[in-house]
């Protein structure tokens, strides 16, 4: 096992690599999606099992790799016909930008993903750079929205008038439960008004 000390795993299983029962796991920090707005942990199933299949030439087929990745339990498989020498492997870039914490990427052989350990580390670095760009763009967008006076987060369940009235009633002795029932909100919403 090659442990890079991060949150994602690349598994290599099957022919020419490691037997499926003894899958080698390579950890890689592709994205720290907790701060990534493109793929929110709220909307992304945890621990997705993703596959990546690649053939070098157009005369080759992906059938064997796809079957192997399905048997390994991959729910989504990114596929492409491109040599590892090409820097513009679009399916690989899509895969890397879609990763969230806990995701597992499976390849049939490690050479399907990278030509060498150096290339593997370059892919990990590329993913880190992509994540930094996403984080920067998100922060810039948030700053511009706040400068325009846009409210960030969910809209309030109570109007300003209702908030003022609830504060007044609370000061007069109304309980959190009574106020929450009367406004149709949770007690925690009323509690936060204080």
Specify which residues 8 forms β-bridges with: 28
Q: In what order do the strands lie in the sheet with 8-12?
A: 24-28, 8-12, 104-107, 49-55, 76-81
In the residue annotation, 56 being an active-site residue is answered as yes
- Given a contact cutoff of 8 angstroms between Cβ atoms, the answer to whether 185 and 157 are in contact is yes
Q: Is the pLDDT of residue 30 over 90?
A: no
Domains parsed from the chain with CATH numbers: 8-146 (3.40.50.1390), 160-191 (no CATH)
> Average per-residue pLDDT in the chain?
76
In the chain, the N- to C-terminal Cα span, in Å, equals 53
- Alpha-carbon distance of 101 to 107, in angstroms, equals 18
* C-beta contacts of 55-58 below 8 A and 24+ residues apart: 55/81, 56/81, 56/82, 56/83, 56/84, 57/81, 57/83
d(CA 12, CA 25): 7
Residue pLDDT, tens place only, 128-153: 787 788 889 989 999 999 999 888 88
Question: Is the pLDDT reported for residue 85 higher than 90?
Answer: no
Query: What local confidence, expressed as pLDDT, does residue 25 receive?
Result: 35
Tokens of 129: 């750079």
Question: What's the angle, vertex CA 86, arms to CA 81 and CA 90, rounded to 5?
Answer: 60
- Check pLDDT > 60 for residue 86: yes
What pLDDT, on a 0 to 100 scale, did the predictor assign at position 113? 84
The pLDDT assigned to 100 comes to: 81
Q: Which of 3-7, 128-132, 154-158 shows the lowest mean pLDDT across its residues?
A: 3-7
Render pLDDT for 159-185 as a digit per residue (tens, 0 to 9).
999 999 999 999 999 999 999 999 999
Among residues 27, 56, 156, 188, the one annotated as catalytic is 56
Euclidean distance between CA atoms 79 and 98, whole angstroms: 14
């Amino acid at each position: 096992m090659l442990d890079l000390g991060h949150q994602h795993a690349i598994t290599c299983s099957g022919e020419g690599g490691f037997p499926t029962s003894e899958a080698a796991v390579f950890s890689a920090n592709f994205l720290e999606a907790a701060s990534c707005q493109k793929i929110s942990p709220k909307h992304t199933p945890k621990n997705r099992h993703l596959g990546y299949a690649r053939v070098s030439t157009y005369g080759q087929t992906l059938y064997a790799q796809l079957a192997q990745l399905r048997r390994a339990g991959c729910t989504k498989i990114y596929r492409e016909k491109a040599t590892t020498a090409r820097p513009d492997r679009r399916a690989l870039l899509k895969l890397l930008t879609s990763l969230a914490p806990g995701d597992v990427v499976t390849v049939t052989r490690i050479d399907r993903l990278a030509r060498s350990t150096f290339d593997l580390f370059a892919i990990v670095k590329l993913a880190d750079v992509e994540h930094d760009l996403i984080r920067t763009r998100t922060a810039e967008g948030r700053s511009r929205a706040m400068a325009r006076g846009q409210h960030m987060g969910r809209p309030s369940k109570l109007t300003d008038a209702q908030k003022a009235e609830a504060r007044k009633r609370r000061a007069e002795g109304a309980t959190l439960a009574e106020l929450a029932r009367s406004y149709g909100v949770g007690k925690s919403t009323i509690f936060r008004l204080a």
